[in-house]
Structure 1
Amino acid sequence: MTTFPTDLDPELVARLIDSGGGALARKMGIEFVELSAAKSLARMPVEGNTQVVGLLHGGAHVVLGETLGSVSSAIHAGPGRYAVGIEINATHSRSITSGWVTATCTALVLGRTLATHEIVVTDAEGRRLSTVRMTNMLREM
């Protein structure tokens, strides 16, 4: 069950609920837990998102991070605006072959035209698997 801030743009909430965060997020099995501009959480299964030797695919880490960072930036952008990613990078620190991963997205900068977030992906024991940093440009619709 996703927790939405009470002051969140109703149109954005409707889009998130209707789309499940978008087609790719649905395919990856991403589940939103808590959403806000400053801090968001989501989780994703390892199963179905592995590479050829059975490890969680590095790109899956990035998809999870970008999904959460983009939604958090869109929340910050507010009504009549949207967020578009302009930079992303990831450092993978540890691998995982089963279970679920959790992403915690924390705002580094919430400006008028840019939002930068750090997303830390951890395993069930809280060990850091990867760190994703992304910057979104905030645009008028």
Structure 2
Amino acid sequence: MKYRFFTRIYAVLAILFLLSVMAQFVFAGMAVFISPLHWQEHTFFIHLFGFNVPLLMIVLALLGKLPGWAYWQLFGIMSLVFVMYFSANMSGKLPLLAAMHPVIGTGLLLVAYWKVIKLYHYMKKEQTQ
């Protein structure tokens, strides 16, 4: 009960992360369908939230004493972000891996969404206890 504040901040960051991943799809779409100049937004935006938000979430998960699944999901998110960085920078050497960049991004979107849903159910359950 006394850790609820940290859990709420964690939830805000989880939603922020999900919205940021969704924005990345919009920026990439703008770069492909409107103007290649939008790639700059796509690459800049990831540096704002890619590892920063999940690192803050780890701290909040510890302070909020969240269950083990929260850490595993964060590990999955951080692993996928790392693979996203790797795939984006390997287009010259491993073009097939670079082509997987949007597929990996879709996986990241699904994990971020799953995290928000699971967290919602956890907070709802904690509220009734």
Please give the TM-score of this superposition, normalised by the length of structure 2. 0.33
The structure with more helix, counted as a fraction of residues: 2
Larger radius of gyration: 2
The structure with more strand, counted as a fraction of residues: 1
Please give the TM-score of this superposition, normalised by the length of structure 1. 0.31
